[in-house]
Amino acid sequence: MPMLSRRRLVLAASSLVAMAAAPKVVFAQATTPAPASTGPFTVPPLSYPVIALEPHIDAKTMELHHGKHHAAYVTAVNVVAKTHPQIATTPIETVLSNLSSLDETIRATIRNNLGGHANHSMFWQIMGPNGGKPEGEVLAAIERDLGGMEKFQNDFNTAGTRQFGSGWVFVTVTKEGKLAIEARPNQDTPLMDGKRVLMGNDVWEHAYYLNYQNRRADYLKAWWNAVNWKRVSERFAAAKAGTLGI
């Protein structure tokens, strides 16, 4: 084997030093995978990286909220599904609108955890970076039913601020496209009354406390920057077509 010249050895050593000193390039994930599940219900993956909603919602909150809190609801429902498999073979919105028909031993668990699964599945879907502005039929419905964007956002934020303790603030939508605002405690959802949800915001403390502490009003105001209006428009169209589930 031919021996390396001194010049080649110096060049090779220099290249190694340069490679070691070069900054590491880290590519952001296009999506955030869902936690592993051991049952029929699963946490849907995010269509954006957890960092994508900063500074409005911080990455750590997204990691914990999506990967821990939502996963806990799914785990609890999957435990029930082992002994009550009909829970997994019936549409979620149908189960939630017929809670009174469930066995008393599982009713509260399903209300809290399947409700939480439905609410969060909607929540991740209607958020995203560079979400644009409402337009078309959605904007027309907001102006007709909710008094325009400024009044709508103020009323929505007020409802979220006034929700005592944990809960959600929603915009419901009928098959005719009529909108309304309502707040619900805990993991309750308008689905439990046979309604459909266009969009909603989580006002449990775990949704905002790392970044906003007790300033729920600030979180509600900032959250609008994370709304993906294209997805909201898609849900509006599905509601009018009668195909919107959770």
pLDDT at 33 over 80: no
Q: Is residue 50 part of a domain?
A: no
Q: Six-digit token pair at 198? A: 């266009």
Contact by Cβ (8 Å): 197, 173: yes
Across residues 112-122, what is the average pLDDT?
A: 98
Q: Is residue 138 part of a domain?
A: yes
Question: Per-residue confidence at 38, pLDDT binned at 50, 70, 90?
Answer: confident
Instruction: Quote the number of domains for the chain.
Output: 1
Residue 10, pLDDT score: 41
* List of residues 6+ apart from 117 with CB closer than 8 A: 41, 70, 73, 74, 77, 92
CATH code where residue 226 lies? 3.55.40.20
Residue 228 structural domain: 57-246
Q: Is residue 39 part of a domain?
A: no
Question: Per-residue confidence at 31, pLDDT binned at 50, 70, 90?
Answer: low
Percent of the residues in the chain that have a pLDDT greater than 90, as a whole number: 84
Residue 24, pLDDT score: 35
Q: Six-digit token pair at 27? A: 């590519």
> Which uninterrupted H or E stretch holds 86?
helix 86-89
Q: Is residue 27 part of a domain?
A: no
Q: Six-digit token pair at 9? A: 């050895």
Q: Is residue 3 part of a domain?
A: no
Closest CA to 40 of 3, 74, 65, 91: 74
Q: Is residue 16 part of a domain?
A: no
Residue 118, pLDDT score: 98
Residue 163, pLDDT score: 98
Residue 12, pLDDT score: 43
pLDDT at 144 over 90: yes
Q: Is residue 51 part of a domain?
A: no
Contact by Cβ (8 Å): 82, 75: no
Q: Which amino acid is present at 50?
A: V
Q: How many helices (H) and strands (E) does the chain have?
A: 11, 3
Question: Per-residue confidence at 185, pLDDT binned at 50, 70, 90?
Answer: very high
